[in-house]
């Protein structure tokens, strides 16, 4: 194997690929707000949990709304919705009714007190189970209590299809959005070529 010289890059937390997701919550007046996030990771199988991180040193209305309501949703915009997701990640709910500005609408989630953005085809409903402050960000772990998927993104086995969802991949190195490529191998199978016995 040929290994080329390595170079140190600028320090930052995001190393692509990461999806650009949209976290949404109700404020103290019941108004829906949302922000786009790249700091997102699955964090537990049992119970199913995911963790997001929101900058607590900057203007983030959604953070206040999530901590106040104890609930949030995570929605996955498709690449065709990149402009909408981008605006929701640029304007603050303190100054803008940005969900309406991009022409989106909300409905109350089925299992938590948080908004579901109707135009997003996959949405995970979460109740807050833990928060941790790390440096500039507050990490919020939510237990997944419901997942809503549009029928249009389901395959013949009722599983959601990444190809149909076409989620946004955020490239933090170049500040751009990319789409998911095609399947190249089967997970938990491709590596079996290295199994000796
Ligand atoms: C692609 C993208 C990714 C982002 N990721 C994060 C993130 O992980 N954490 C964060 O605090 N802000 C992130 N932001 C910035 C917020 O979405 C932005 O500040 C938003 O305006 C906050 O809105 P709010 O005040 O209504 O909550 C991101 C923005 C974009 C465009």
Average pLDDT of the residues of the chain: 95
Mean pLDDT, residues 69-87 taken together: 98
What tens digit of pLDDT does each residue of 17-63 get? 899 999 999 999 999 999 999 999 999 999 999 999 999 999 899 99
* Region for residue 158 given its phi and psi (left: phi exceeds 0; alpha: psi -120 to 50; beta: otherwise): left
Closest residue by CA, ligand 1 atom 20: 89
Is residue 13's pLDDT more than 90?
no
Pairing of strands 71-75, 122-134: antiparallel
Tell me if 65 is assigned to some domain: yes
Q: What is the pLDDT of residue 15?
A: 77
Tell me if 189 is assigned to some domain: no
Where residue 149 falls among pLDDT bands split at 50, 70, 90?
Answer: very high
Tell me if 140 is assigned to some domain: yes
Residue 170 CA to ligand 1 center (angstroms) comes to: 12
Where residue 8 falls among pLDDT bands split at 50, 70, 90?
Answer: confident
Tell me if 9 is assigned to some domain: no
Q: From the alpha carbon of 20, which atom of ligand 1 is closest?
A: 1
Is residue 69's pLDDT more than 80?
yes
CB of 59 sitting under 6 A from ligand 1: yes
The total number of structural domains that make up the chain:
1
Determine the structural domain holding residue 37 and report its residue range.
Answer: 18-181
Tell me if 188 is assigned to some domain: no
The SS3 of residue 176 is strand
What tens digit of pLDDT does each residue of 117-128 get? 999 999 999 999
Q: What is the pLDDT of residue 197?
A: 79
How many C-alpha atoms does 139 have within 13 Å on its Cβ side?
A: 13
Tell me if 93 is assigned to some domain: yes
Tell me if 194 is assigned to some domain: no
DSSP letter (8 states) at residue 192: G
Mean pLDDT, residues 153-162 taken together: 95
Residue 166 CA to ligand 1 center (angstroms) comes to: 21
CATH number at residue 139: 2.30.110.10
Q: Is residue 77 within 8 Å of 159, Cβ to Cβ? A: no
Q: Is residue 36 within 8 Å of 117, Cβ to Cβ? A: no
Tell me if 175 is assigned to some domain: yes
Q: What is the pLDDT of residue 10?
A: 84
Q: Please tell me the distance from the alpha carbon of residue 66 to that of residue 68, in angstroms, as a whole number.
A: 5
């Amino acid at each position: 194997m040929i290994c080329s010289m390595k170079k140190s890059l600028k320090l930052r937390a995001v190393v692509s690929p990461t999806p650009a997701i949209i976290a949404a919550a109700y404020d103290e007046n019941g108004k829906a707000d949302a922000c786009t996030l790249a700091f997102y990771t699955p964090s537990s199988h049992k119970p199913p949990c995911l963790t997001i991180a929101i900058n607590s040193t900057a203007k983030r209305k959604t953070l206040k709304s999530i901590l106040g309501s104890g609930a949030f949703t995570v929605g996955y915009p498709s690449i065709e919705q990149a402009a909408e997701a981008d605006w929701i990640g640029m304007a603050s709910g303190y100054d803008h009714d940005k969900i309406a500005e991009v022409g989106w609408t909300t409905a109350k989630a089925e299992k938590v007190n948080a908004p579901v953005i109707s135009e997003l085809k996959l949405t995970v409903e979460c109740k807050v189970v833990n928060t941790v402050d790390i440096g500039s960000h507050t990490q919020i772990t939510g237990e997944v209590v419901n997942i809503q998927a549009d029928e249009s993104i389901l395959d013949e086995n009722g599983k959601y299809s990444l190809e149909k969802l076409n989620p946004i991949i955020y490239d933090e190195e170049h500040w751009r959005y990319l789409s998911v490529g095609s399947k190249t191998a089967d997970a938990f199978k491709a590596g079996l070529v290295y199994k000796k016995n």
